[in-house]
Structure 1
Amino acid sequence: MKVKFYLEKNQKPTTEHGMKVVYGTAKRGGYRFRWYLILAIILSPIFLIIYTYAKQYLFITAPGVITTGPVVITASQNGIVKKIAVDENEFVLEDQLLIQIKAPVLEEEVTFVKEELLRLNEAKEGRDEEDLSPYYAAITAAKHNLRKVTKIKLNYDQYAQEGKVSQVDYAAIIGIYNTSQSSLTNAYIALNQAKIAQKQRELAGGIAQVTRTLNQSLTTKMNQLEALAIKAPYMGLVIDINALEGQRVSIGDPLVTISPDVAPFVISYLEPKYIDKAKLGTLVSVVLPSGQKVKARVAQSIGLTSKLPAQLAKPFEGAKALLKVKITFLGGLLESEWVEGMPVEIYF
């Protein structure tokens, strides 16, 4: 037999010894919520670690950056920035002037070389050329002598046919005629040799060598002066200007970064073991920092690399081989949705 006891408190819970007692509303729900909240805060790092660890097995992801392949133009000579002809985010045309640099030392060198060349040319013009008149006189005398001997030979030819002259005398005349011809030939040869020697002195002499060296130096320095006018290599957008007017720059210092006028694309860095996912035309999802997902596809597998961009590199992370993959957007991006070098995550 089951016996149940009923206390007065069970029947009248709001009455105590005949007096009414007012109780507050139950707060068990609030305590329970706070307990769940504390528990969630405590366990959230564990869940985050578990998700991060499991993510690499559940999804194939790779970091990447949105880019258009910008080019950093550097200084080709030491100098001072004279003029900055463009502003950041300005659209420029091919060969448009971006920055003008002046190099006082180089300009002085060009002036000095020009003055030296002018003095050498004046000295060359004032120098007396070799006198060739003796050679011409020798040719004239040889021609005159040959004409006289030719007339005598013609007479002896007639006498020899008539038998009026001996063979010995006729042979002597033939010898004299041949000697006259040789003298004229030798005179011409001597004149040509004198002209050749004179030309060689002009081309290979001391003044000629110095002039050639100075002309070569002037050409090089003029090209260096032309290179001080920094121009756009192609039509595009000025992303960044790394110099100020009046700033002194050295060879190799970055001056301006310009992006070509092309649609943005993504360069991703995928682990080589997932190379089969980087086939041409493979569809992927690009997750922007805002959480927006954009459809894209693999356009090109560029090759292996061991260097990540600065915005993707993690501290204390050693270099490792990664597959560099170019990805293009299927529908494109609005200008407000991306900036050059923005990090993204790609899901293959």
Structure 2
Amino acid sequence: MKVRFSSPKKQNPDEDGGLPVRYGPGKRAVPKWKWYALVLVISTPLLFLLWRVGAALFFINAPGVVSLEKVSINSPFPAVVERIYASPGAKAAQGELLMRLEDPAVTQRIYVLKAELEALKAGTPAPSGSAPAGAAMAKVRIAEENVRYQKGYRDSIQSLFNQGAATRAEVDAAEDRYRQALAGLAEAKTSLLLLQSPDFSRQESIARNNSRIAQIEAEMKVLEERKGFFSVVSPHEGRILDVFTSEGQSVGGGAPLVLLGRPQSLTIMAYLQPRHISYTGEGEKVTVRFPGSISVAGRVSAAPEIAARIPAELAGVLGEGKQTLLVRVSLDEELAGHLRVEGLPVSVHLGFSLLKSLQMLSGDS
């Protein structure tokens, strides 16, 4: 037997046994606009993804930073940093004192020469032969003091070198100063022996003293001029970007001391994906967007010649560590002073070109 479950109510649900049945409104009726809103919310991630893909294909943007012209201020000779007046982020006027250096060997040498000069001048006009001998003995004492000082300085540098806090060049320089001090002591002792010899004449003593006085004065003039370089000043007006040393630190000749940035001269460094290289011809117009919804017109200064990894702070989650083209952009408009900040993140828009984008897609395929 075949059982069928069918009811005439299916054909006419508003009647029951010939009597009309009236239904009330549905309790769960939902307006259509709520359904549309629900569909829109659910599809939002997909729409956002489609927008990002489309924007990446047709709107060529690249993250970038403001880069000031940099001037490195280096040490003119081996020295010790005595005092630092500059601090990162501070403004520096042209000629402003940034740092003061000190060379202990120069200071000690000037002290020795002054003492020797005073002794020679005191002994030169003496009528008897004992004054030159006294001056020579004073020179010997000064030379011995210099030898002791240079020996202690050499030993301290050697100790720092053994601890990894000094360089081989500093050790060699200290050893050279010590040997020069020994040579000076030997010369002073020789002069004393000549003065004490019976056949030494007073005229020869005066001549030798005058010659030595002239040598000392010439050497002191050179050393005093060198002390003028102990003051490190700013060569241009700008902003201190970094200070590489600390007070009391020994630095070699040519070692970097301060990094100065010049806000008057800046460029934009953009990190562009390599597939967009067709947009980087020299003179290509771009738009640089700064924080605060400020847009400034610019152009590509030169075709990129360097590939670099995009900095982590600019890359985002998916782009970190990728190689990019380093594009240099110059601005066509004057930039406000508060935007001339080293490392300020910006966005560089290289334009929209459907034809170029389609050519790029066909090339990738």
TM-score computed with the length of structure 2 as normaliser: 0.49
Distance 1:65 1:221, change over 3 A: farther
Report if aligned partners of 2:311, 2:320 keep a CA contact under 8 Å in 1: no
Within-5 A mapping of 1:52-63: 52-63=52-63
Could you tell me which amino acid in structure 2 is paired with residue 317 of structure 1? G
How far apart are 1:92 and its partner, in Å?
Answer: 0.6
2:321 to 307, 317, 327: 317
| Offset at residue 333 of structure 1 (A) | 2.2
Q: Say how many residue pairs are matched.
A: 251
What is aligned with 2:101? Answer: 101
Q: How far did 1:228 drift? A: 3.4
Aligned counterpart, 1:341:
343
Q: 1:240 to 1:112 in 2, by over 3 A?
A: same
When residues 313 and 248 of structure 1 are mapped into structure 2, their CA distance, relative to the original with a 3 A threshold, is farther
**CA–CA separation in structure 2 for the residues paired with 1:297 and 1:97:** 37
CA distance in 1, matches of 2:80, 2:310: 33
Distance 2:13 2:248 in 1: 98
SS at match of 2:328: strand
The percentage of aligned residue pairs carrying the same residue is 20
Change (3 A) 1:30 1:280: closer
Does structure 1 retain, via aligned residues, the 8 Å contact 2:309–2:321? no
Contact 1:311 1:343 in 2 (8 A): no
2:263–2:340: 8 Å Cα contact kept in structure 1?
no
- Higher gyration radius (CA): 1
Instruction: Answer yes or no: is the 8 Å Cα contact 1:268–1:346 preserved in 2.
Output: yes
1:1-348 to 2 correspondences below 5 Å: 4-6=12-14, 11=22, 13=24, 32=35, 35-36=38-39, 39-40=42-43, 44=45, 51-74=51-74, 77-84=78-85, 88-93=89-94, 95-104=95-104, 107-108=107-108, 111-112=111-112, 119=139, 223=226, 225-240=227-242, 246=247, 248=249, 250-251=251-252, 255-270=257-272, 276-301=278-303, 303-306=305-308, 312=314, 317=321, 320=323, 322=325, 324-348=326-350
For structure 2, the 5+ residue unaligned runs are 1-9, 121-138, 140-183, 196-207, 351-365
Q: Normalising by structure 1, what TM-score?
A: 0.51
Residue type at the aligned position of 1:39:
I
In structure 2, how many angstroms separate the alpha carbons of the residues matched to 1:254 and 1:226? Answer: 19
CA 31–96 in structure 1, closer or farther in 2 if over 3 Å, else same: same
Corresponding position of 2:153: none
SS of equivalent to 1:60: strand
C-alpha deviation, 1:286, in angstroms: 1.4
Amino acid aligned to 1:286: V
> What CA distance in whole angstroms lies between the structure 2 residues aligned with 1:48 and 1:115?
83
Return the alpha-carbon distance in structure 1 between the equivalents of residues 42 and 312 of structure 2.
38
Classify 1:100/1:55 alpha carbon distance in 2 versus 1 (closer, same or farther; 3 Å).
same
